[in-house]
Structure 1
Amino acid sequence: MKEFKERKDALQIIGLVLNHGSATASMIAENVGVSEKTIRKRIAYANDILRDNDAGVLVARPKIGIVLSGNQEQRGKAFDLIYMKKDDSDDCSNERMLETLRLVLRSIHRDIITINQISDELYMSPPTVAREIKACRKWLSGFNIELNSVRNRGLEIRCTELDYRQALKEYICKLCEPSDIDRELRFFFPEINIGLIREALIWVENEWNLLLTESSFAEILTYLCIATFENVRKKHELKLTFSEEEVNRYNEYNFAEKVFRQVNDHLGLTSRAEEIRYLTIQILCSKVISSANADPINMVREYDQKLRDFVNRTITVVSDVLNTDLSQDERLYEGLLNHIRALIFRLKYGQTVDTTVNSYIRENFITTLKVSWLVSTLFEEYFSLSIGDDELSYIALYIQTAIDCSRRPAEAVLVTDQNSSVTRLIHDRIVHTSMDIGKIEDVTVHQFLRSKYPSAELVISLVPLESKDERILVLKDPFHEKNREKIHEKLMEIRAKRHWQKPHFSSVCHRLFEPDLMMTDVHYENKDELLYDMCSLLENKGYVSHEYYASVIKRERAANTAIGGDVAIPHGDMSFTNESKIVVAILDEPIDWGDEKVDVVFLLNILMKSEAEVSKWQAFYRQFISLTDSREAIDKMRDCCDPVELYCYLVQ
Structure 2
Amino acid sequence: MAHNVINARTQTNANAHDAKAYARGSLTLFGQKRLDAIFEAVRHSTYSPAARLAKMHGITDRTVRSDIARINNVLENHGAYIDIKRGEGYHLVVQDEQLYEDFIASTRGRGAGEPDLSSADDRIRFLLNALLMADDYQSYDQIADAIYVGENTLQNYIRQIKDILADYDLALLVKAGFGVKVLGREDDRRRCFMDRVVIRNMRSYVKGFSDDETRLFPDIDLGSLERIVRGHMEHSDIVTTDYGFKNLLMHTALMVSRIMHGCPVETSEDAETSSRVSLFLEGTCRDLEREFGISICEAERGYLLLHILSNTNLDRLGIDNQLFRSDVDALLEVVVQNYGFDLRDDAELKRNLLMHLSSTFSSKDLKIIKKNPLLNTIRSSFPLAFEIALASTSKVFDTEPYTLSEDEVGYVALHIGAAIERRTPRNRPLHKVVLVCGSGNSIASMLESRLLTYFGDRITIARSISYREFCELDAANLADTAFVVTTVPIEHCPLPRVLVDFSLSAQDTETISRMLNSIEEQATSLVGAFFDQELFCHITKPAGKGEVLEKLCDMLRNQGITDESFLSSVLEREALSDTTMDPLFAIPHSLSPSSTKTKVAVALLDQPLDWSAGSKEVRIVFLLAVQAGDRVNIEYLYDLLLSITNDRRLQHDILSSQGFADFLAILDRKAQEHA
Shorter-normalised TM range? 0.3 to 0.5
Which structure has the greater CA radius of gyration?
Answer: 1
Which structure features the higher share of helix residues?
A: 1
Q: TM-score, normalised by structure 2?
A: 0.31
